[in-house]
Amino acid sequence: MKLILVRHGETEWNKLGRFLGHRDISLNPRGVAQAQETAREVIQWKHLAVYSSPLQRTMQVAQEISQLGGMPVVQVPGLMELSLGELEGVTGEEMRSGWPQVYDTWRDNPTDVVMPGGESLLELQDRAWNSLMELERDHAEDEHLILVSHNFAIRAIIGKLLGMPLANFHRMSLSLSSICMVESTQWGRRRLVSYNSVCHLSPENQ
C-alpha cells in the first residue's frame, strides 16, 4: 500500500506568518494554484481513495484531486491540524510576548506543551496515527490512498513512523503543498519513501 500525504497550499495566515490550527481559513489564490499543480501530480499514482481533514484549506486540495481523478473525498477529523486554542492567529513574536513560558517550552521541548485551550503534540500524534491505522485496515495492500492534511499533523505521523521523539519535532520542516510517501505492507511494516517533495510545483509556487 502507498500512502500519499499531501500538505495543503498557502492561506493568507500562512503568508502573514500567523499560527493556523483549527481555524477554518481557505486557500488564497497562490494556494489554489498550488493545489491544482499538486492534484495533477498525485493522480499519477492511480489512487483508490482521497481522504482529507475537513477544514477548508485541505478540502480545497482534496476536491481538486477528486475532480481530476473521479474519486469522492472522505473527511477524516483525525487528520485535522493541532488545535492551538488561544494561539490561533498569533505570530511567533506575539506568542513570545504574550505567552513567554509557552513560547520557551515550545521552542526547547515541545513534548511538554499543551496549547492554552488546545491540544498537545502527543494528542495530535495519537489521533492522526490512529486515523492512519484505521485507513490501512480498511484497504488492501495493493491500493494507493491520498491523505490531505496539515503541517504538524503530517510531521507527527512521519515522526511516529521513524520512531523520532517528539522532543525533536522542530528538526523537521514541511513545505506548503509538499508530498510525502509511505509504503505499508501486510506485515505491518512501514517505510518512508519520500519526504517534503515540492518538485511538482512551478518556481513561483514553491
83 secondary structure, DSSP code: P
Domains of the chain in sequence order = 2-205 (3.40.50.1240)
Which residues are known to be catalytic?
A: 8, 81
The pLDDT tens digits of the residues spanning 133-180 come to 999 989 888 889 999 999 999 999 999 999 999 999 999 999 999 999
CA–CA separation, 164 and 182 (whole Å): 16
How far apart CA 175 and CA 180 sit, in angstroms, is 11
Burial class (CB in 10 A: 0-12, 13-18, 19+), 13: middle
Cα three-residue angle 57-150-108, rounded to 5 degrees: 135
Q: Are 84 and 19 in contact (CB under 8 A)?
A: yes
Q: Write out pLDDT tens, residues 167-204.
A: 999 999 999 999 999 998 767 789 999 999 999 999 99
CA-CA distance, 65 to 190, in Å (whole number)?
25
Q: Please, where are the H alpha helices in the chain?
A: 12-16, 29-42, 56-69, 92-98, 100-108, 121-137, 151-162
What 3-state DSSP class applies to 19?
coil
> What are 35-50's pLDDT values in tens digits?
999 999 999 888 789 9
**Structure pTM?**
0.96
Residue 6 pLDDT grade (very low, low, confident, very high; cuts 50, 70, 90): very high
pLDDT tens, residue by residue, 62-91: 999 999 989 899 999 999 999 999 999 999
Share of the chain above pLDDT 70, in %: 99
CA proximity to 149, closest of 87, 73, 202 = 73
Cell of 40: 495533477
The backbone torsions φ and ψ at residue 94, rounded to the nearest 5 degrees and listed phi first, read -65, -35
pLDDT at residue 123, as a whole number: 98
Distance of CA 126 to the CA centre of its chain: 14
